[in-house]
Amino acid sequence: MNEEAKKVKKPKSKTRKIIEWVLTGIFGVFFIILGIGQIDGMVHQKDHYGQMLKYGYGTFVVKTDSMEKDVDNKKVYGIGSALITHLDSPEKIYQEFNAGKVVDVTFYNAYSASTAYTEPDHEKNPELTVRTPIAAVSNTYPIITHRVREIHVNEDPNVKKGQGKYTFIVSGINPYSTNLGSDGEHPVTINQYQVFTEKELLGRVVVGSAFLGGVFGFVSSIWGLLVLLLIPAFYLVITSVIDVFKAYKEPEEETAASSNNEESSSGSKGSIELSEADKKRLKEELLQEMLDKKKGGN
């Protein structure tokens, strides 16, 4: 009698189930938070001059050498580095600056070209706070990250935050910058400053990393896009091949299992042992059959 091989699916352990639930929950929460941040950034993008800030955080890539080195020739933000900023309140930035902390900020450069000044002195140069806004398209780099040199607060009670209450005076820190006319070896005087208010503030730099800049650059390149597409595609191909191989191998295993069952069944039938009572009964039946044949022959 043929018997089909039955597959016995091993149940998952309780620990494994808990781990899967936890990981699924973590990934689910992560993608929900990421999605909400993406939506929030897109909704308020127009309020930040087209820049997407997710939960107040933005990412930018350095394009010039104005912040590459400081006066001590120490590396700061090289070209291609990634900057992560947070849209801190102007009050907090003002407090940190007054406390003597180094503050680098990213802002929208909505004003006319930088004017050269011997020093960022508001009293000597009151025109620093009087700039004529121009179209953003006239700026080569409308988004700039520079170091805070001065912050002025308008004490007029009628001027509220968001109406130009805080005026930031900033500049680059690299005296070797080619934008200042340096040949890259000999430092020059930093005498170019930008002025903006809290309306144009996009965030304070909290992280500056050349490594992250390389990652962002690779991901945004054609090779990075190819890798991101090929990895899931390669995974799908490998899993499909494994599934096909399993499907091809399983019938052979089932056939072999059935043959083993049949052989086991046949072997068990051929080796049946009779009890003494059955043996005696069979002998009597055989003897009686022989006597009946003998009588019939007479």
| pLDDT tens by residue, 37-80 | 778 888 888 888 888 888 889 989 998 888 998 877 788 898 98
Q: Would you call 81 exposed, middle or buried from its count of C-beta atoms within 10 A (0-12, 13-18, 19+)?
A: buried
Q: What is the pLDDT of residue 120?
A: 47
State the amino acid at position 114 in one-letter form.
S
SS in 3 state form for 87-119? CCCHHHHHHHHHCCCCCEEEEECCECCCEECCC
Q: In this predicted model, what pLDDT tens digit does every residue of 170-208 receive, in sequence order?
A: 888 998 888 777 887 888 888 778 888 899 999 999 998
Q: pTM here?
A: 0.61
